[in-house]
Structures are given as C-alpha cells and as structure tokens.
Amino acid sequence: MATLRSLLALGNTKLGQAIHHFDLEAVETCPGRSRVCESVCYATRGRFHTGLVRNRLNWCLQQSRSQDFADHMVSEIRRKGVLVVRVHVSGDFYDADYATQWLSVFRRCPVARFYFYTRSWRVEEVAPVLAQMAELDNVRAWFSADVETGLPDPLPEGVRVAWLQTEAADLVAGHLVFRDRPIRQTPLPRFGLPMLCPTETPVGQRRKVNCGNCGHCWKA
Ligand code: SF4
C-alpha cells in the first residue's frame, strides 16, 4: 500500500506541540531576503543541515510547485482537523504563483488560523498577494524587517512588522522584535520599544513560553 507523506509537520521546540507547519529550504526560496537576515538565519544551521531535514524540505519544495498543491494542503488540513498553521518555519513565498496557492488554501479553510513572517513583501509581484492574504479573518501576516530593509512603506491593512535585531546598538521598530542569539542577554531600554518575543527572554524561558501558549503572533 502506498504511504501518504504529510505536507504538514506538527510542533517543534519553539512552536509547542499543537501548531502545524509547512517548510521549504531557506535562502533559495527567500527572494526578499536581506544580507542581515541571511547572515543569522537559524534555518541554515543545526538540524536544518541534516540529511533527513534537507530531504524533507526538498520534497516539500517539489510539492509546492505542483498545480495540485493547494488542493492537497486543503484536503490534509480538513482531514486532520488542523487548527493553527505556521506557514514557513523556514523558507518563504518564493513567487506569486506559490503565494496564490496559499491564498487559495487560506480562503478554503476558514476554520483554521494561519500565520507567517515574510520578507517577500520586497518582491514586487508577490506583495499584492500578501496584501490579499492579510485581509482574511483567519490570517495573521507579519512582514519581517531589519536595519537593511527598513520598515515596509506602505504597510498593508492588517499587517504587523516583526523586526530582526542583530546588533545591540541597532535601532528597533515595528510590533515585535526577534534578537539574534548573541545579543539576547544585552539589556533593552525600558520604554518605547516593541514587544520582545518571550521565548528569547530569561523570564519567558523560565515560564516555558512557546508560540502555542503565547499566541501573540497568531491569536491577536
Ligand atoms: S511572540 Fe509569542 S507567538 Fe510570537 S514568535 Fe514569540 S512566542 Fe511565538
């Protein structure tokens, strides 16, 4: 009997155990990447370098290029009763056709909640599709930014900005800050800053915060 391989994986250390995710190889599927994000990308290191993970990401990329990708994804989400999907722990919306397949999935699965961080807002043909995604009630869209990209302008309705800080002296902006590991222990000024992802703070780590029990990026 043929084995059906799942498009979605379930959970990881950061997401917790209840959030599904679909992933692609980082960098080659990230046309909007900056030099800053590529230089610190977690998805080019560690377990992402193992043969098993690379094989899976490559398989996912092939699936994503199929004209049936959205149909297969919708069918899997419905069959499994999936409630929350992080689109791309690694990888990004690499072109307009692929982004449009996800737009179709979002529209056809109104019960599920989808969220993503993307730098493809910097890619002219993908940006309008992202703006359509952000209009949907079941989608939480985050545009990723850093000192190199600056803030997205204009920012489509419903989109929030996730800022990557890689140097302690960097300015930060947007609605949420992720910090590169070496600077996570450096103090932040107390006022006027966006929220810091709690998985990167000592208090959040003591409280065992993960995306499932935090919810800031996908519930709010
Ligand atoms: S703010 Fe909360 S939901 Fe967002 S990435 Fe951090 S832990 Fe996850």
Atom 8, ligand 1: residue with shortest CA distance: 211
Average pLDDT over residues 114-138: 98
60 within some domain = yes
How many angstroms is it from 116 CA to the middle of ligand 1?
11
Ligand 1 pocket test: pick from 206, 216, 219 the residue with the most ligand atoms within 8 Å of its Cβ: 216
Q: Which residues contact 175 (CB under 8 A, 6 or more apart)?
A: 142, 160, 161, 162, 194, 195
Asked if the structure places residue 21 within a domain, the reply is yes
* Per-residue confidence (pLDDT) for residue 2, from 0 to 100: 45
Q: Output the ligand 1 site: residues, CB below 6 A.
A: 176, 197-199, 209, 211, 214-217
Whether 198 is covered by a domain: the verdict is no
Q: Reply yes or no on whether the pLDDT at 189 is more than 70.
A: no
- Measure 4 CA to ligand 1 centroid, in angstroms: 31
Does residue 53 lie in a domain region? yes
Query: Exposure of 81 by Cβ count < 10 A (0-12 exposed, 13-18 middle, 19+ buried)?
Result: exposed
Residue 181 lies in a domain: no
**For residue 1, pLDDT beyond 50:** no
pLDDT value at residue 190: 56
- pLDDT of 107 higher than 80: yes
- Which residue range forms the structural domain that includes residue 35? 9-142+209-214
Q: Rounded to whole angstroms, how far apart are CA atoms 91 and 43?
A: 8
**What spacing in Å lies between the alpha carbon of 212 and ligand 1's midpoint?**
8
Residue 217 has pLDDT above 50, yes or no: yes
- Which of 118-132, 182-196, 198-212 tops mean pLDDT? 118-132
Ligand 1: distance of its center to the CA of 180 in Å?
15
Stretch 109-138: mean pLDDT: 98
In a domain, 24, yes or no: yes
Count: domains in the chain: 1
Q: Which of 112, 166, 106 is nearest to 130 (CA)?
A: 106
Q: Is residue 132 part of a domain?
A: yes
Please indicate, yes or no, if residue 56 is contained in any of the structural domains: yes
**What are the backbone dihedrals phi and psi of residue 19, each rounded to the nearest 5 degrees, phi first?**
-100, 130
For 30-49, write each residue's pLDDT tens digit: 999 999 999 999 888 888 88
User: What does each C-alpha distance from 61 to 6, 32, 37 come to in angstroms?
Assistant: 13, 17, 21
Query: Is-cis flag, bond preceding 31, omega within 30?
Result: no
pTM of the model: 0.94
Most distant pair of Cα atoms in the chain: their distance: 60
Mean pLDDT of 74-87: 98
Please give the Cα distance from 87 to 72 (Å, whole number): 15
